[in-house]
Amino acid sequence: MTETGLIIGQAVFLLLLYLFIAFVVRASTRALKSSELEMTPPRQPEPPPSASPIAPAPPTEVVGAAAPPTAARWGVRGGRAEPPLSEAARPEVVHAAAAAEPHLVVRSSSSLPVGSMYDVAGGATIGRSRSSRIPITDQFISTTHARVFRKGHFWFVEDLGSLNGTYVNGRRISGEQQLHLRDEIRVGETVLRWEE
């Protein structure tokens, strides 16, 4: 091979190497942008301070929980009523939203009954496998298609390398996607709604 041929070969090799590195950097940048997470929980609005000592409505409590004594709700000192103790100071009060377990509701499916609910409190896998927590007999779903799991205070769905992909609110996801109330997850011909 001549010296000119070697120089041309080296130039082609360097060009291909440059294109490969550019592709890897672009794919990594896209993956990082799509997996950015909000790590702080949403702030709850502060209730306005009450000008009069009128008793507020009692908080929603779990059925069967022991009600705290009346004196713990409103104390009277020096002839004036004091506001109730904070929620943190009353561990026996549990809001219904905090006690609710996360679940998926079938919105439409060719193999699952519409309206059926699947508890995912400990995480769940979705796929054709019988060992999946949500087994779906659908030709467009992989054996282990996707999984739903908790990370910190947030819930995520992750595509497990399925051939036909996992969609959240109509957008195909790659890797993990944080779930929000009433998000719709589509795997194959099945649409599941996220509820907490």
Residue carrying structure tokens 């282990």:
144
Q: 51-55, 97-101, 124-128: which has the highest mean pLDDT?
A: 124-128
Burial grade of 152 (CB within 10 A; 0-12, 13-18, 19 or more): exposed
The answer to whether the predicted template modeling score (pTM) of the entire model surpasses 0.85 is no
Of 11-20, 80-89, 172-181, minimum mean pLDDT range: 80-89
- Bridge partners of residue 155, in order along the sequence: 150
**Cβ pair 103, 119 in contact under 8 A:** yes
Residue 97 has pLDDT above 60, yes or no: no
Binning pLDDT at 50, 70 and 90, where does residue 45 land?
A: low
Q: CB atoms < 10 A from the CB of 167, how many? A: 19
Residue 148 has pLDDT above 60, yes or no: yes
